[in-house]
């Protein structure tokens, strides 16, 4: 199996499928475009499964490696590989792409081929990010993935889509430029190598480490997003179509966090230790401050967007405690957040498609007309609030428990999300779902159809599976996380 | 091997029942839903009996079912610990649950959510069993939160009612406050013991007895004993689940749920999870007298002050709810006095008689056509004889009538508190007097309700439908607790309920009468809990002294007839008879005379108003400030859009240079060349 270039296939199959879909042309051929998209997404997902099946859990290094020269003059290589940290995200990404294509099936009637092509191409590019072992290759994918998402928000978005798309683009571009500078520095410092794995071994003095760390921090913090560079996310979510929100929450937010593990921690271990207090502080602000902000949101999408930021706070918190529990908990949280927030945005989309409002005040008593939907939405709300037996619990549990050992007050701060997180989620659920039928829009609602039920059902199974038996997910991480921790523990200052 | 399958069967059977009734609730007929769930719980009950016998024969078990997660050096498993404490809880849970399942057939027969309800209560049974059978903290927390979820779903069962959906959210959030402490406690256990497995932790704990942790680096005053911190954190979890002051506020409101679950979840089983947990953790709590004193004081406050509130309630379910709060306080006092086995003993007897009282109240509610106001009742004993007799048994057991089950457990608690007091444990003196005074209060409010409901003038069927709570000020009480907002029509008489309702009453009345007499000797003074509950007899001698004074159940009952608690209980009953049967003008006069006290009690010591204002209101205000002030004004307004404006401003200036005239550009280029040449020449 490993004779096939699986990672290249995971990148290029969706991109090619996207081009094929694009070739179907105008909306006259929309049904064909949809079918091609679904076939492409499923094929791309299936091709990633051997990554998990054939993964050697004892090996902490890179697997399924592909290496060939790309631009020899600057030693830029087409260098791909996955380890226990990145492998799950490739699969998650491919999985979410199917969900997104299915989510837009009947809803998107305008420029169908282009819409689906954008998602497929973006999916391929994101796989490129998760598998690149070459700095330039990473950067190219990192930047290129912005374009489809920008278009998705800018073309298929809501009334303020242009403002949101610009804000999103400029915010992330600002971070990227600093990232590029850091890459250049590392290129020269390493004597002309763009290999990320080489950089992991590169000795760097503390001063430059700090500067590089800050450059990486800004680039990645925007993507995560961390407080205070988070304000693009609620706007982007509110304006994005449902599919865009799902990808944004489930995959795009993971890129920044992934960057911390691939770049900041292993390349700059001393600066990471030195500045861990800063990151931990920002993470706690994200968890506490943002949770309170989420509490008072009147727009459901904004509420879930803020809750995403708070959940990602757990991720960065887990990374910078430098313990296996912390990092693995953070990784579990990332995967889980992909399922749960994806499902939450889809649920909001289901209601939006029927009522054309995201305002909490426009709803009430939805359970009376959509009982099946209410039951599934309850499951995901509870997962969002971190209820045990759902995936949402596992990551938070690991990070909080890891934090108690690290510092009691950090754990104390993080654990407040148990109360506030439940408060904002359940308060929204109560106002939207429970109660008497609030108005004629709610009275006319029809319960979810088979397509919507299938999407939510699949996500529900994933959420429960990961909550009841997370072992298969963490098993693949152990060796790589341990390698990373060993690496971070060794000073690079000479 | 065979037994392990049986262990697994106990929680799984109700789960399967719940899934059948829940996943297909819209397609299957009602009989299938209740048959499937009752069969599931019955299987669990029978299996529990078999396991109980097996454990009595000395076969305890501690093992994993599967590995949930490994991370770093830590391993988390899902597994079972089967010992006498577990089997006691299993029997109580499955028996009461079975009774409630049967009862529900009658109680919910007109409800459109019939199948859903059965699904929930079976799911609850599964969750509760996972909680009590756990052999580690992780699974305990899983069960802990899962019962909270089902409680949330069931309190909000009638989801169109504003009060119900307010109460269920309140219950979940208040419980989450407790869980906040609980998870930190679990975190401390993991950080210092390196495992969440009970056996490992309990083995390791004594060596950590003198360990201290520093909450603020380098400050001496912030150094606390590790065990004290851990136990108090864990106990905060118990305070949420077992509704101890100040986290008790959710329990009275939980009466919004249908009565069967008030009996099962909010009286007999779930709310006792905290008591069970502390008893399970006895090897940890024994290491910290400070934590035990904290426990005993909280318990005493709950026992006494929640009892007072029972006196002024007019809703039949709320009276029983406050009595539950008060009894939970008694159990907590027992825990604090290191009489863990007494707490579990009271938990068991209480489960029977309180489930009986709740189901009896539910039977009255059915008979009264869903009127819950005891002022509209009276003389029901003529119309509902079985309900009357069983409720009387329940009430007598509750107030501690000698030889009934409640007497043995409650009297033991009072004596344990007395010994702790005499031994000089901080807080125990207060606890002793509180539980003593509580006896009088309990007898008074219990028989106030009993007399008003079953004796005296028949006040139902009056033209003026008086069940508007005109005396209740706050909004969440209005119209609350009425299952279906109607009552008896004028001239209509109450009727006895069908056999599916009365059978559970009778079956619960039997253990309420007898179990104390037969169980006290083995449970408290035999080897029943040997190796399960750990007591440091030197530091906390309550159990040892109790054992010395114990000369058999019969002697204990005889002796009690002359003791102070019995006299207090008798006084309470007589006084309530005098007040509410003979001279109803006296309590009315007292109410007028002490209106300040009345107001305080009616507002439940202002806990709800305080929480609503400070915590709920404060959180919303903080959120608004952070959002409008932080995100919108400063970050977006000042920095993001501000920098965009700065860019716009700069570009509006630079734009001036881009005129589009070739001669402007040529001119600038010439200037540029001049400047560069000047520089070059100077440098040369």
Q: Which of B165, B623, B627 sits opposite A430 (nearest CB)?
A: B165
Phi, psi of A446, deg, nearest 5: -110, 145
Identify the domain containing residue A294 by its residue range. 288-494
Q: Is residue A9 part of a domain?
A: no
Alpha carbon distance B408, B344 (integer Å):
12
Residue A441 touches chain B, beta carbons under 8 Å: no
Please answer yes or no on whether B623 and A418 come within 8 Å at the CB atom.
no
Please answer yes or no on whether A418 and B179 come within 8 Å at the CB atom.
yes
Of A471-485, B554-568, B587-601, the least confident: B587-601
State yes or no: pLDDT of B471 exceeds 70: no
> How many CB atoms neighbour CB B577 within 10 A?
17
pLDDT of residue B684: 63
**Average confidence (pLDDT) over B330-339:** 92
Alpha carbon distance B185, A444 (integer Å):
48
Residue A416 touches chain B, beta carbons under 8 Å: yes
Q: Which residues of A touch B160 (CB under 8 A)?
A: 365, 368, 434-436
Please answer yes or no on whether B187 and A296 come within 8 Å at the CB atom.
no
Q: Which of A293, A435, A469 sits opposite B68 (nearest CB)?
A: A469
pLDDT of residue B217: 66
Give B2-22 pLDDT, tens digit per residue: 788 899 999 999 999 999 998
What chain A residue is nearest to B164 in terms of C-alpha separation?
A435
Please report, for residues A344, B223, B585, B594, the alpha-carbon distance to residue B460 in angstroms, rounded to integers and kept in the order given: 50, 62, 20, 29
| A 321-350 residues inside an 8 A Cβ radius of B | 323-325, 328-329
Alpha carbon distance A314, A312 (integer Å):
5
Residue A71 touches chain B, beta carbons under 8 Å: no
Q: Residue B70: helix, strand or coil by DSSP?
A: strand
Q: Which residues of A touch B165 (CB under 8 A)?
A: 430, 434-435
Q: Is residue A443 part of a domain?
A: yes
State yes or no: pLDDT of B476 exceeds 50: no
pLDDT of residue B486: 64
Please report, for residues A5, A12, A187, A259, A334, the alpha-carbon distance to residue A139 in angstroms, rounded to integers and kept in the order given: 21, 17, 13, 11, 21
Total number of domains in chain A: 1
pLDDT of residue B482: 42
Give B353-403 pLDDT, tens digit per residue: 999 999 999 999 988 888 888 888 888 888 899 999 999 999 999 998 889
Give A234-248 pLDDT, tens digit per residue: 888 888 889 989 999
Of A274-278, B199-203, B372-376, the least confident: B372-376
Q: Is A38 in contact with A101 (CB distance < 8 Å)?
A: yes
Q: Is B533 in contact with B335 (CB distance < 8 Å)?
A: no
State yes or no: pLDDT of A101 exceeds 80: yes
Q: Is residue A222 part of a domain?
A: no
- Of B599 and B351, more confident: B351
> Which DSSP string corresponds to B605-672?
GGHHHHIIIIIIHHHHHHHHIIIIIIIIIIIIIIIIHHHHHHHHHHHHHHGGG----HHHHHHHHHHH
End-to-end CA distance of chain B: 97
Q: Residue B258: helix, strand or coil by DSSP?
A: coil
ipTM rounded to 2 decimals: 0.90
Alpha carbon distance B446, A439 (integer Å):
45
Give A208-224 pLDDT, tens digit per residue: 889 999 999 998 998 88
Alpha carbon distance B488, B373 (integer Å):
12
Give A445-463 pLDDT, tens digit per residue: 888 999 999 999 999 999 9
What chain B residue is nearest to A404 in terms of C-alpha separation?
B187
> Which DSSP string corresponds to B183-226?
HHHHHHHHHHHS--BHHHHHHHGGGGTT-EEESSTT-GGGEEEH
Of A386, A382, A391, residue with least CA distance to A433: A382
Q: Residue B151: helix, strand or coil by DSSP?
A: helix
Residue B30 touches chain A, beta carbons under 8 Å: no
Q: Which of B149, B180, B640 sits opposite A387 (nearest CB)?
A: B149
Under DSSP, the state recorded for B472 is -
Q: Specify which residues B63 forms β-bridges with.
A: B80
Q: Is residue A181 part of a domain?
A: no
Q: Specify which residues A78 forms β-bridges with.
A: A68
Length of chain A: 494
Please answer yes or no on whether A418 and B176 come within 8 Å at the CB atom.
yes
pTM: 0.89
Please report, for residues A303, B286, B336, the alpha-carbon distance to residue A115 in angstroms, rounded to integers and kept in the order given: 26, 65, 65
What value does the CA radius of gyration of chain A take, rounded to a whole number of Å?
Answer: 21
Phi, psi of A422, deg, nearest 5: -65, -35
Q: Residue A31: helix, strand or coil by DSSP?
A: helix
Alpha helices in A190-299 (DSSP H): 196-201, 206-223, 232-239, 242-247, 253-259, 265-267, 269-274, 276-295
pLDDT of residue B484: 47
Alpha carbon distance A491, A273 (integer Å):
10
Of A256-270, B206-220, B288-302, the least confident: B206-220
Alpha carbon distance A43, A98 (integer Å):
10
pLDDT of residue A380: 94
To which residue do tokens 């209820």 refer? Answer: A387
| A 345-384 residues inside an 8 A Cβ radius of B | 365, 367-368, 371, 382
C-alpha torsion A213→A214→A218→A224, nearest 10: 40
- Number of DSSP helices (H) and strands (E) in chain B, helices first: 28, 4
Residue B619 touches chain A, beta carbons under 8 Å: yes
> How many CB atoms neighbour CB B674 within 10 A?
10
Alpha carbon distance A421, A397 (integer Å):
14
State yes or no: pLDDT of A188 exceeds 50: yes
Q: Which residues of A touch B73 (CB under 8 A)?
A: 324
pLDDT of residue B478: 37
What chain B residue is nearest to A306 in terms of C-alpha separation?
B627
- Own/partner long-range contacts of B21-26 (Cβ < 8 Å, ≥24 apart): B21/B115, B21/B116, B21/B118, B21/B119, B21/B122, B22/B115, B22/B116, B22/B119, B22/B120, B22/B123, B24/B115, B25/B115, B25/B116, B25/B119, B26/A371, B26/B115
Residue A403 touches chain B, beta carbons under 8 Å: yes
Q: Is residue A399 part of a domain?
A: yes
Of A147-161, B321-335, B392-406, the least confident: A147-161
Alpha carbon distance B547, B525 (integer Å):
6
**Average confidence (pLDDT) over A277-302:** 91
| B 229-248 residues inside an 8 A Cβ radius of A | none
Q: Is residue A265 part of a domain?
A: no
pLDDT of residue A28: 81
What chain A residue is nearest to B215 in terms of C-alpha separation?
A408
C-alpha torsion B629→B632→B633→B636, nearest 10: 140
Q: Which residues of B touch A471 (CB under 8 A)?
A: 66-70
Mean pLDDT, all residues of chain B: 87
Q: Residue A175: helix, strand or coil by DSSP?
A: helix
Q: What percent of chain B has pLDDT over 70?
A: 96
State yes or no: pLDDT of A3 exceeds 90: no
**Average confidence (pLDDT) over B280-289:** 91
Q: Which of A166, A297, A434, A478 to mutate to probe the B interface, most B CBs <10 Å?
A: A434
pLDDT of residue B463: 52
| B 155-194 residues inside an 8 A Cβ radius of A | 156, 159-160, 162, 165-166, 169, 172-173, 176-177, 179-180, 183-184, 186-188, 190-191
Q: Is the dihedral of CA B470, B472, B475, B478 positive or negative?
A: negative
**Average confidence (pLDDT) over A247-275:** 90
Q: Is residue A269 part of a domain?
A: no
In which element (H, E) is residue A110 found? Answer: none
Q: Is residue A362 part of a domain?
A: yes
Q: Residue B246: helix, strand or coil by DSSP?
A: coil
Under DSSP, the state recorded for A65 is E
Q: What percent of chain B has pLDDT over 90?
A: 43
């Amino acid at each position: 199996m490993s004779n096939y270039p699986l990672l290249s296939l995971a990148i290029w199959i969706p991109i090619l499928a996207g081009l094929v879909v694009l070739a179907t042309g105008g909306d006259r051929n929309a049904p064909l475009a949809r079918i091609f998209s679904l076939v492409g997404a499923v094929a791309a997902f299936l091709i990633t499964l051997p990554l998990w099946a054939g993964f050697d859990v004892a090996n902490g290094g890179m697997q399924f490696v592909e290496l060939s020269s790309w631009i020899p003059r600057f030693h830029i290589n087409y260098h791909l590989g996955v380890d226990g940290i990145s492998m799950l995200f490739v699969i998650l990404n491919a999985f979410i792409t199917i969900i997104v294509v299915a989510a837009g099936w009947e809803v998107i009637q305008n420029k169908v081929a282009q819409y689906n092509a954008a998602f497929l191409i973006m999916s391929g590019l994101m796989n490129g990010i998760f598998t690149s072992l070459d700095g330039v290759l990473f950067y190219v994918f990192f930047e290129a993935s912005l374009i489809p998402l920008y278009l998705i928000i800018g073309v298929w978005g809501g009334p303020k889509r242009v403002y949101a798309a610009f804000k999103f683009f400029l915010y992330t571009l600002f971070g990227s430029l600093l990232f590029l500078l850091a890459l250049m520095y590392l290129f020269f410092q390493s004597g002309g190598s763009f290999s990320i794995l080489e950089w992991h071994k590169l000795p760097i003095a503390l001063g430059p480490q700090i500067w590089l760390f800050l450059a990486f921090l800004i680039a990645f913090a925007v993507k995560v997003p961390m407080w205070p560079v988070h304000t693009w996310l609620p706007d982007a979510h509110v304006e994005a179509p449902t599919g865009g929100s799902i990808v944004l929450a489930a995959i795009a937010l993971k890129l920044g966090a992934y960057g911390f593990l691939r770049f900041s921690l292993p390349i700059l271990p001393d600066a990471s230790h030195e500045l861990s207090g800063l990151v931990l502080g920002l993470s706690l602000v994200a968890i506490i401050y943002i949770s309170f902000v989420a509490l008072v949101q009147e727009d459901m999408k904004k509420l879930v967007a803020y809750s995403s930021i708070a959940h990602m706070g757990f991720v960065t918190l887990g990374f910078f405690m430098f313990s296996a529990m912390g990092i693995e908990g953070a990784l579990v949280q990332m995967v889980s957040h992909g399922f749960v927030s994806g499902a939450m945005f889809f649920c909001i989309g289901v209601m939006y498609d029927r009522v054309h409002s995201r305002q909490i005040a426009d709803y009430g008593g939805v359970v009376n007309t959509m009982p099946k939907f209410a039951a599934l939405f309850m499951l995901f709300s509870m997962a969002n609030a971190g209820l045990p037996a759902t995936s949402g619990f596992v990551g938070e549990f690991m990070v909080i428990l890891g934090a108690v050992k690290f510092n009691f007050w950090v754990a104390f701060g993080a654990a407040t999300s148990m109360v506030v997180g439940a408060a904002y989620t359940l308060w929204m659920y109560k106002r939207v779902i429970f109660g008497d039928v609030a108005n004629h829009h709610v009275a006319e609602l029809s319960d979810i159809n088979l397509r919507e039920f299938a999407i939510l059902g699949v996500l529900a199974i994933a959420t429960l599976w990961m909550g009841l038996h997370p072992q298969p997910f963490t098993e693949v991480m152990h060796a790589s996380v341990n390698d990373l921790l060993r690496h971070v523990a060794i000073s690079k200052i000479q | 091997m065979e037994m392990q399958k049986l262990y697994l069967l106990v929680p799984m059977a109700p789960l399967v029942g719940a899934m059948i009734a829940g996943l297909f609730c819209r397609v299957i007929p009602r009989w299938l839903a209740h048959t499937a769930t009752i069969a599931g719980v019955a299987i669990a009950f029978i299996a529990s009996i078999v396991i109980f016998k097996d454990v009595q024969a000395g076969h305890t078990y501690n093992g994993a079912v599967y590995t949930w997660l490994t991370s770093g050096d830590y391993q988390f498993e899902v597994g079972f610990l089967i010992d006498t404490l577990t089997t006691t809880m299993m029997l109580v849970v499955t028996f009461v649950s079975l009774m409630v399942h049967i009862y529900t057939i009658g109680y919910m027969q007109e409800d459109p959510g019939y199948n859903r309800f059965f699904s929930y209560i079976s799911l609850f049974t599964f969750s509760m069993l996972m909680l009590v059978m756990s052999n580690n903290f992780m699974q305990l927390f899983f069960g802990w939160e899962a019962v909270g979820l089902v409680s949330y779903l069931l309190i909000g069962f009638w989801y169109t009612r504003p009060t119900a959906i307010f109460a269920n959210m309140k219950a979940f959030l208040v419980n989450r406050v407790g869980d906040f402490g609980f998870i930190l406690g679990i975190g401390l256990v993991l950080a210092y013991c390196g495992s969440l497995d009970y056996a490992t932790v309990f083995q390791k704990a004594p060596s950590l007895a003198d360990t201290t942790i520093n909450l603020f680096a380098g400050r001496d005053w912030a150094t606390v004993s590790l065990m004290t911190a851990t136990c108090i954190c864990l106990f905060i979890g118990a305070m949420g689940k077992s509704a101890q002051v100040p986290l008790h506020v959710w329990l009275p409101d939980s009466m919004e749920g249908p009565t069967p679950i008030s009996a099962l979840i909010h009286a007999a089983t779930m709310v006792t999870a905290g008591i069970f947990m502390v008893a399970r953790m006895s090897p940890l709590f024994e290491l910290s007298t400070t934590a035990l004193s904290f426990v005993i004081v909280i318990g005493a406050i709950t026992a006494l002050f929640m009892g007072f509130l029972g006196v002024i309630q007019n809703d039949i379910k709320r009276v029983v709810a406050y009595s539950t709060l008060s009894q939970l306080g008694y159990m907590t006092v027992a825990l604090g006095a290191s009489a863990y086995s007494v707490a579990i003993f009271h938990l068991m007897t209480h489960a029977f008689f309180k489930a009986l009282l709740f189901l009896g109240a539910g039977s009255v509610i059915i008979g009264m056509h869903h009127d819950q106001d005891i002022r509209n009742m009276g003389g029901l004993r003529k119309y509902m004889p079985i309900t009357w007799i069983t409720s009387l048994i329940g009430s007598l057991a509750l107030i501690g009538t000698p030889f009934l089950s409640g007497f043995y457990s409650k009297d033991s608690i009072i004596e344990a508190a007395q010994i702790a007091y005499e031994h000089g444990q901080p807080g125990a003196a207060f606890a002793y007097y509180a539980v003593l005074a509580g006896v009088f209060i309990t007898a008074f409010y219990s028989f106030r309700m009993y007399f008003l409901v079953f004796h005296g003038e028949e006040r139902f069927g009056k033209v003026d439908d008086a069940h508007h709570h005109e005396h209740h000020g706050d909004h969440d009480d209005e119209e609350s607790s009425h299952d279906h907002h109607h009552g008896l029509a004028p001239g209509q008489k109450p009727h006895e309920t069908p056999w599916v309702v009365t059978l559970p009453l009778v079956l619960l009345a039997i253990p309420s009468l007898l179990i104390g007499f037969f169980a006290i000797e083995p449970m408290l003074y035999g080897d029943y809990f040997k190796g399960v509950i750990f007591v440091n007899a030197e530091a906390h001698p309550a159990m040892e002294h109790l054992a010395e004074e114990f000369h058999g159940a019969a002697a204990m009952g005889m002796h009690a007839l002359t003791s102070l608690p019995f006299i207090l209980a008798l006084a309470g009953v007589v006084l309530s008879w005098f007040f509410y049967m003979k001279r109803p003008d006296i309590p009315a006069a007292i109410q007028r005379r002490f209106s300040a006290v009345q107001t305080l009690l009616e507002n439940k010591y202002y806990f709800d108003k305080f929480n609503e204002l400070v915590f709920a209101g404060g959180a919303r205000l903080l959120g608004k400030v952070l959002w409008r002030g932080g995100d919108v004004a400063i970050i977006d307004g000042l920095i993001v859009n501000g920098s965009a404006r700065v860019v716009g401003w700069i570009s509006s200036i630079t734009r001036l240079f881009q005129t589009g005239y070739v001669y402007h550009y040529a001119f600038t280029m010439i200037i540029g060349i001049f400047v560069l040449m000047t520089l070059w020449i100077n440098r040369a």
